[in-house]
Structure 1
Amino acid sequence: MTGVIGHVSLGVDDLDAAGRFYDGLLGAIGAPRRVTFDAALAWGRDHAEFWVGTPIDGRPASVGNGTHVAFLCERPEQVRAAYAAGLAAGGTGDGDPGPRPEYTPDYYAAFLRDPAGNKVEVYSL
């Protein structure tokens, strides 16, 4: 067993829009969709690591202030490809691809909002 996180889930109200967004974004970094349920979808490189779904309590999904999920890429080219795919699939930019030396010298990242407004990051080291 490696790592500490089994999976992460974000709430969305429009599962179809979220599916298109994450199929593009995560497909660009080699993490295909692995699960499709009526109320949830999941992606990952070797298991269902990242999930989106409609809230189980039936209330509208909401975005967490200060919350984001970061997806690891192998190279800056993957960061740029994932960012472009996310924009093309209905996401909005929240920080163009580029170096982030304030984090670490080799950190390269981009930030987007998915169609539900959740903040996501794609980065390479």
Structure 2
Amino acid sequence: MFDHVKFGVRDYAASKAFYLQALAPIGVSVVGEGEPAYGVELSAGGESSLCLFQTTEAPAHLHIAFVAQRREQVDAFHRAALAAGARDNGPPGLRPKYHPNYYAAFVIDPDGHNIEMVCHAPA
């Protein structure tokens, strides 16, 4: 759906480490990096990427949802994100108010952003 999303973070090193660990279950890695003020590009090898850069500005909180192909990846994301220091914002499970197969987990990242991993496939 998107080419890339880029947003500022307060602690570049901590946020970079958080996203690499939390998104490892879907194969995310560094595909490009410059100075912290320029940032880092993270991708799972597809056409879209997540870019982070160091800033002193107080960005508004975001909600970013990453797609998983399997429900096990949602579970692994939740475990990895919590281990990386995230706060739980909704454990893995079905969210039938969205649709019958909406399986997702939510965490709050180091900057207070609501990060979601969602799988739309049936079990």
Range class of TM-score, shorter chain = 0.7 to 0.9
- 2:20 paired with 1:23: yes
- 2:5 paired with 1:12: no
Secondary structure of the corresponding residue to residue 117 of structure 2: strand
- Structure 1 CA distance for aligned equivalents of residues 11 and 67 of structure 2: 25
- 2:32 paired with 1:35: yes
Question: 1:76 aligned to 54, 71, 82, which one?
Answer: 71
Question: 1:95 aligned to 79, 90, 95, which one?
Answer: 90
In structure 2, the gaps of 5 or more residues are none
- Structure 2 CA distance for aligned equivalents of residues 96 and 77 of structure 1: 13
Secondary structure of the corresponding residue to residue 23 of structure 2: helix
In structure 1, the gaps of 5 or more residues are none
The aligned counterpart of 1:124 is: 119
CA contact (8 A) 1:35 1:48 kept: no
Higher fraction of strand: 2
- Structure 1 CA distance for aligned equivalents of residues 30 and 94 of structure 2: 28
Q: Following TM superposition, by how much is the alpha carbon of 1:48 offset from its aligned partner in structure 2, in angstroms?
A: 5.8
Aligned residues: 117
- Structure 2 CA distance for aligned equivalents of residues 36 and 90 of structure 1: 23
- Structure 2 CA distance for aligned equivalents of residues 71 and 48 of structure 1: 11
CA contact (8 A) 1:34 1:48 kept: no
Across the aligned residues of Structure 1 and Structure 2, the Cα RMSD in angstroms comes to 1.5
The aligned counterpart of 1:110 is: 105
Deviations 1:9-42 (A, max 9, x none): 1221101110111011111111222122221122
TM-score by length of 1: 0.85
Secondary structure of the corresponding residue to residue 74 of structure 2: helix
Question: 2:80 aligned to 60, 77, 85, which one?
Answer: 85
